[in-house]
Amino acid sequence: MATFKLVINDPETGRSYQVERSWEECSFLIGKRIGFRFAGDLIGLPGYELVITGGTDKDGFPMRGDLPGTGRKRILVSKETGFHERKRVRKKIKKIRGLRRRKTFRGNVIADDLAQLNCVVVRKGPQPLEELLGKKEATSSAEKSK
């Protein structure tokens, strides 16, 4: 549990940024649910406000907002989050209406064994996210060498 990945989506620009933080910095999120709003100051984004929209655990199982608790559950899903009505029939993938399947999902509460957490920016801060989280421009180092 050395690092924790946060995927932060900016709906205005349509860009997403992946940030790795230590568990000590993100320990305040443990026990919170999907839809929880928190200040970006806590993870190094001054002036921003973020909301949790989902995530995945260390084995790749996605979180689901309507499933209570922290554990995994196998539920029957049909045309909802995490499942599309498609099935391979005679070497072709076809859409079959009414198809249901039992799949494994995580609950909506954040626990220790999450690997990634998805967040969306609700309120912007004074500096753009690209400056705070984006990659440094490679052109500036190329100009210095000229």
- In a domain, residue 139? The reply is no
116 in a domain, yes or no? yes
pLDDT band at 61 (very low <50, low <70, confident <90, very high): very high
User: Is residue 11 a part of any domain in this protein?
Assistant: yes
Overall domain count for the chain = 1
Report if residue 142 sits inside a domain.
no
Residue 141 lies in a domain: no
The verdict on residue 19 lying in a domain is: yes
Q: In this structure, what is the dihedral angle of CA atoms 60, 66, 68, 69, given to the nearest 10 degrees?
A: 20
Confidence of residue 4 (pLDDT cuts 50, 70, 90): confident
Q: Is residue 48 included in any domain, yes or no?
A: yes
Residue 122 lies in a domain: yes
Domain that holds residue 13: 3-134
What's the pTM value of the predicted model, to 2 decimals?
0.79
Whether residue 71 is predicted with pLDDT greater than 70 in this model: the reply is yes
**pLDDT at res. 54:** 93
Query: Could you tell me the pLDDT band of residue 96, with boundaries at 50, 70 and 90?
Result: confident
Residue 49 confidence class, pLDDT cut points 50, 70, 90? very high
> Given this model, what pLDDT does residue 47 score?
92
